[in-house]
Amino acid sequence: MTKNSGAAGNEMPANEARDTYIQNVTIGARKPLNAPIELVEYNPAWPSLYEQEAAKINGALGKKILGLFHVGSTSVPGLCAKPIIDILLVIADAADESAYIPQLSEAGYALRIREPGWHEHRLLKGTQPDINLHVFGKDTPEAERMLRFRDWLRENAEDRELYANKKRELAQQIWKDIQHYADAKTKVVESILERASKTKLTDRHNR
């Protein structure tokens, strides 16, 4: 769940139903956070950790992979982040779990989120290092959105600092669930994406 998402089409649920929605799309027990968010300064080792995981995913899925990218804050040099490597995997059909979940499970990733009503998003978790593996189908607009946000922050120092400041401000609060923290960033993320959509980027869809 990279942003507010919902069960009816691609609409997010009402605020009062958010916790219920999160629980409904989570596979297995969901542990409450009830704590601030751990943010750390950018670590130059993060790209290497992504490459390590990308090799595992390539080995598991091979030609089924239509796109594999390092996304999220750990993919943006100079940006503070939770020490979790976010990876975007694009395949033909994310709803066809039998085509990729068994192989990824063998490679050490566990399916934790299933969102059929939001772009058929699937989230798998990896450990050592901590990994969020986001799976979307071909031509999903959310995949393009994630890449555009990443590429814009890599190029635009002003918005990178704006985003970092908002993250630091929000991270100090006590959050019942980490998704609530992600949801609280929606306004600043959307404002940055609006500016990014009006500008041609030079760094498109590499790694």
pLDDT the model gives residue 9:
43
Q: Which residue has the higher pLDDT, 132 or 205?
A: 132
Say how many domains are in the chain. Answer: 1
Q: Which two tokens stand for residue 115?
A: 């969102």
How confident is the model over 101-115, as a mean pLDDT?
Answer: 98
Indicate whether 205 belongs to any domain: no
DSSP letter for 203, please. S
Indicate whether 105 belongs to any domain: yes
> Taking all residues of the chain, what is their mean pLDDT, rounded to a whole number?
91
Per-residue pLDDT tens for 47-92?
A: 999 999 999 999 999 999 999 999 999 999 999 999 999 999 999 9
pLDDT the model gives residue 31:
87
How far apart, in whole angstroms, are the C-alpha atoms of residue 52 and residue 31?
A: 28
pLDDT the model gives residue 12:
47
Q: Which two tokens stand for residue 196?
A: 């990014």
pLDDT the model gives residue 201:
65
Question: What order of strands is seen across the sheet that includes strand 121-126?
Answer: 67-71, 85-91, 131-137, 121-126, 110-115
How far apart, in whole angstroms, are the C-alpha atoms of residue 167 and residue 182?
A: 9
How confident is the model over 111-134, as a mean pLDDT?
Answer: 97
pLDDT the model gives residue 17:
79
Indicate whether 52 belongs to any domain: yes
Q: What is the residue range of 140's domain?
A: 38-196
Per-residue pLDDT tens for 171-189?
A: 999 999 999 999 999 999 9
Indicate whether 23 belongs to any domain: no
Per-residue pLDDT tens for 128-173?
A: 999 999 999 999 999 999 999 999 999 999 999 999 999 999 999 9
Per-residue pLDDT tens for 12-39?
A: 444 567 889 999 999 999 888 999 999 9
How far apart, in whole angstroms, are the C-alpha atoms of residue 13 and residue 6?
A: 5
Question: Could you tell me if 124 and 110 are in contact, meaning their C-beta atoms sit under 8 angstroms apart?
Answer: yes
pLDDT the model gives residue 5:
40
What type of residue sits at position 181?
Answer: Y
Can you give the CATH number for the domain in which 98 is found?
3.30.460.10
